[in-house]
Every structure is written in structure tokens, then in C-alpha cells.
């Protein structure tokens, strides 16, 4: 069994806690053990927390769970693109998979609920596939 970590954005804590439940269920199905859950203020802090987990020898991969809502400006889109690029760079730099379970950028309220489970499960499945 491979050990993995989760990095979770606390800005939408109630919804992300639901995502964690789906991620834990999927991890069990995929024979993965979530040994560490790190809460960060928002998606912007996810790359640093992910890097810290990837540095740990006993962590085989990390899933990032969160939500980047559509705002009135392009801030969320620009931030989301920077976060995703940083997570890809970390994946390549550490040669360990990073599962992307961040809904958005640009998510509107009606987009969020239906995406909580599939995004969480797909982030875990991606880690398993790449290990």
C-alpha cells in the first residue's frame, strides 16, 4: 500500500470536508493510505504545502482539493493558472504524482456541488495511475 497526502483549501471548508470523504473512500478502493491531511488558507498556498509533503520519503503522491470560484475580476483565473502550473512543476521536479482536485478556476455556485465527488475521486485515481 502506498501512502499519500492531501492538501485542502479551507476557504470552502464544509465543501472540501465532503471532498475528503470521497477521497478517503476512493483511496481505500485504490489501495492507497492517506496518512497526512494539510489544511491551507486557499489554493494559492497549495503548492508550498504540496512541496513539503512531496519531500517526505514515505509519501508517494499528493492530492490537492479545493475550490476557486469565479470572481468579479480575472484574479481567480490568473491565480488558478499559476497554482496549476506550480503543481505540475512540483510533480515533475519530485517525480511523484499530484492529483488535481481543485474545482475551477471560474467555478460558479451551481458548478460546485455536482463536482465535489468526481473531482475528489479523480484526483486519487490519477495518483494511483501514475504511481
Q: What confidence category does residue 65 fall into, taking pLDDT thresholds of 50, 70 and 90?
A: very high
- Known active-site residue 22: no
Phi and psi for 105 in degrees, rounded to 5? -70, 160
Judged against a pLDDT cut of 90, whether residue 56 lies above it is answered with: yes
What are the start-end ranges of the H helices in 44-108? 46-54, 75-94
pLDDT digits (tens, 9 = 90+) for 5-55: 999 999 999 999 999 999 999 999 999 999 999 999 999 999 999 999 999
Find out whether 52 and 19 touch, Cβ atoms under 8 Å: no
Within-domain flag for 3: no
Within-domain flag for 125: yes
pTM, entire model:
0.95
Judged against a pLDDT cut of 90, whether residue 75 lies above it is answered with: no
Q: What is the mean pLDDT of the chain?
A: 96
- Look up the domain containing 31 and give its range: 22-67+87-131
Residue 67: strand pairing partners: 103
Of the residues 75, 110, 111, 119, which is catalytic? 75
Number of domains present in the structure of the chain: 1
DSSP letter, residue 41: S
pLDDT of res. 74: 85
In which order are the strands placed within the sheet that holds 2-9?
32-40, 2-9, 61-69, 98-107
Amino acid at each position: 500500500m502506498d501512502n499519500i497526502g492531501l492538501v485542502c483549501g479551507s476557504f470552502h471548508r464544509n465543501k472540501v470536508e465532503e471532498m475528503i470523504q470521497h477521497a478517503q473512500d476512493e483511496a481505500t478502493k485504490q489501495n492507497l493510505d492517506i496518512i497526512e491531511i494539510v489544511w491551507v488558507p486557499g489554493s494559492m498556498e497549495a503548492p508550498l504545502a504540496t512541496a513539503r509533503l512531496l519531500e517526505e520519503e514515505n509519501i508517494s503522491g499528493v492530492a490537492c482539493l479545493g475550490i476557486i470560484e469565479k470572481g468579479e475580476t480575472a484574479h481567480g483565473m490568473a491565480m488558478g493558472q499559476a497554482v496549476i502550473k506550480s503543481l505540475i512543476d512540483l510533480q515533475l521536479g519530485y517525480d511523484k504524482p499530484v492529483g488535481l482536485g481543485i474545482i475551477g478556476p471560474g467555478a460558479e455556485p451551481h458548478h460546485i456541488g455536482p463536482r465535489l465527488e468526481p473531482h475528489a475521486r479523480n484526483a486519487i485515481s490519477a495518483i494511483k495511475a501514475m504511481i
